Amino acid sequence: MLLVLPGPGPARARVQRRATRRAPRQPPPGPCGVAAKPKARPRPDPEPAPEQEPDAGWGDRIPLEILVQIFGLLVAAEGPTPFLGRAARVCRRWHEAASQPALWHTVTLSPPLAGRPAKGGVKAEKKLLASLEQLMPNRFSQLQRLTLIHWKSQLVSESCPRLTFLKLSDCHSVTTDTLLMLAKSCCQLHSLDLQHSMVESTAVVSFLEEAGPRMRKLWLTYSSQTTAILGALLGSCCPQLQVLEVSTGITRNSTPLQLPVEALQKGCPQLQVLRLLNLMWLPKPSGRGVAPGPGFPSLEELCLASSTCNFVSNEVLVRLLHGSPNLRLLDLRGCARITPAGLHDLPCQELEQLHLGLYGVSDRLTLAKEGSPLLTQKWYHTLRELDLSGQGFSEKDLEQALAAFSGTPGASHPALCSLNLRGTRVTPSTVSSVISSCPGLLYLNLESCRCLPRGLKRAHRGLEEVQWCLEQLLTSPASPS
């Protein structure tokens, strides 16, 4: 972005003037025939040049409010560091603009340790800490979101009273005292992300006991200590929790997590998002004659995606979602034991995203060949994204399922904008029919579809590519290969 502000700067006086040079007269010859020396004409004293005021430049002519907005665009794209630190050294006006606390809402701090020896890394971290001690009293007063990467030192939290979100990434020296200080000093902190960090369960439990009543979002990486943290959640220490995500790290834990579903529903009744990503888990047996739990009445997103075998079945899904009528997103990728009949019995009526893709599933599992129409007939009017990749439904079953998007004449167009049919038995006539019926379709994945002609078996992104696929299906009756 270039901002041009025309304005007359201080005029510069010209010091040099053009002197008129006249040829000197030849004096008359003297009595001895020798020319007489001309009399020297007195030269006038040069006029003193007017004092020049220093040119402030275009930087000082920009109003401070506009300069702050320009800095805000750069901060939104790249973050406040290191740009604001460098801009503050340009001039006084830029220093004043870079010091505005409103530009320091989101900060990511990462000591430059990569590729340096231990001594050099410690020196660089001390230098960064010294600069932070100067920044915190003024510029961190409006800090709301803070991300620390490879952090080993204690952060001064008294200077961040408005902090609401804290992310610790690859931090391995977080103590109980540090988290307790954050919980007590940052009274507005309600979101904590501890994924990919080695934090003792006692430290996390102490933090949740102190800040639990105001906690809204929590991200964890599954380890042997996750059970203790979940135990604190089951004890209703975070009754207002809305987002809970537990995922596996790089090193997969072979011990499955036992999750007491009903106890979690009682401990976190306000949960809106529940993600158990790539996690091997199984629900704790409820026992015979035990009444079903209260459910998650506010749940809008449930993600149980996994790349390995899991224990999610229709029964487990009913235990989780029997009281969730407002569900909008259901991600069951890798859950091969889920059947269309089990999904059809769910109480949610306005599902917008349904992901049932199977990736790397063992050939020993018997996949359902019928039942896909039960899914589309129930949610065709609200579905925006549908993923059936890798499913074993027959050609006729898929034709009936996708025919639900054709609708009735005069009705509004379906909301479907993303369809993944990778590795299915979908036919050319079925694909052309669904494209014609869904003008808002922007993503269509036809990879590894054996019944389609060569050249079309790929992912089509964007409206132009999807319409090109339709034209090819309608104009070239090529045989599938």
Q: Mean pLDDT lowest for which of 177-181, 306-310, 389-393?
A: 306-310
Mean pLDDT of 173-195: 87
What is the pLDDT, as a whole number, of residue 150? 66
Q: What is the number of other CB atoms lying within 10 angstroms of the CB of residue 23?
A: 5
* Cβ-contact 93, 67 below 8 angstroms: yes
What is the pLDDT, as a whole number, of residue 91? 83
Mean pLDDT of 212-236: 91
Q: Report the amino acid identity of residue 107.
A: V
d(CA 51, CA 354): 75
Mean pLDDT of 11-37: 51
Q: How many angstroms from the chain centroid is the CA of residue 97?
A: 27
- Tell me the C-alpha to C-alpha distance, in Å, between residue 438 and each of 10, 242, 405, 406, 464: 64, 34, 7, 8, 14
> Is residue 35 over pLDDT 70?
no
> Is residue 339 over pLDDT 70?
yes
Mean pLDDT of 221-250: 89
* Cβ-contact 249, 278 below 8 angstroms: no
What is the pLDDT, as a whole number, of residue 340? 95
* Cβ-contact 456, 446 below 8 angstroms: yes
Q: How many angstroms from the chain centroid is the CA of residue 368?
A: 36
Q: What count of Cα atoms within 13 Å lies in the side-chain half-sphere of residue 196? A: 10
* Cβ-contact 243, 266 below 8 angstroms: no
For β-strands 418-420 and 385-387, DSSP reports them as parallel
* Cβ-contact 224, 198 below 8 angstroms: no
What is the pLDDT, as a whole number, of residue 265? 95
Locate 304 and state its tokens. Answer: 């149980």
Angle ∠(112,125,178) on CA atoms, nearest 5: 115
Angle ∠(5,6,8) on CA atoms, nearest 5: 130
pLDDT tens digit string along 64-115? Answer: 888 888 888 888 887 777 788 778 778 888 888 887 877 877 877 776 554 4
- Which phi and psi (to 5°) does residue 109 adopt? -115, 125
What is the pLDDT, as a whole number, of residue 49? 53
HEC secondary structure over 228-263: HHHHHHHCCCCCCCCEEEEECCCCCCCCCEEECHHH
Q: Buried b / exposed e across 256-295, counting CB within 10 Å, b at 16+?
A: ebebbbbbbbebbbebbbbbbbbbbbebeeeeeeeeebeb
**Closest by alpha carbon to 105, among 83, 82, 72, 59?**
72
Mean pLDDT of 179-184: 87
> Is residue 236 over pLDDT 80?
yes
d(CA 430, CA 433): 5
pLDDT band for position 59 (50/70/90)?
A: low
Locate 63 and state its tokens. Answer: 């109003």
> Is residue 361 over pLDDT 70?
no
> Is residue 217 over pLDDT 70?
yes
pLDDT band for position 300 (50/70/90)?
A: very high
d(CA 319, CA 260): 10
**Closest by alpha carbon to 424, among 392, 399, 456, 396?**
392
Q: What is the number of other CB atoms lying within 10 angstroms of the CB of residue 121?
A: 17
What is the pLDDT, as a whole number, of residue 327? 97
What is the pLDDT, as a whole number, of residue 122? 62
H helix runs in 235-350, sequence order:
261-267, 314-321, 340-344
Mean pLDDT of 336-342: 93
Where is pLDDT greater, at 287 or 92?
Answer: 92
Mean pLDDT of all residues in the chain?
Answer: 81
H or E element, residue 454: none
What is the pLDDT, as a whole number, of residue 15? 42
Contacts of 316 (CB under 8 A, 6+ apart): 261, 283
Locate 183 and state its tokens. Answer: 């919980």
> Is residue 436 over pLDDT 70?
yes
pLDDT tens digit string along 263-274? Answer: 999 999 999 999
Task: Report the percent of the chain where pLDDT is more than 90.
Answer: 43
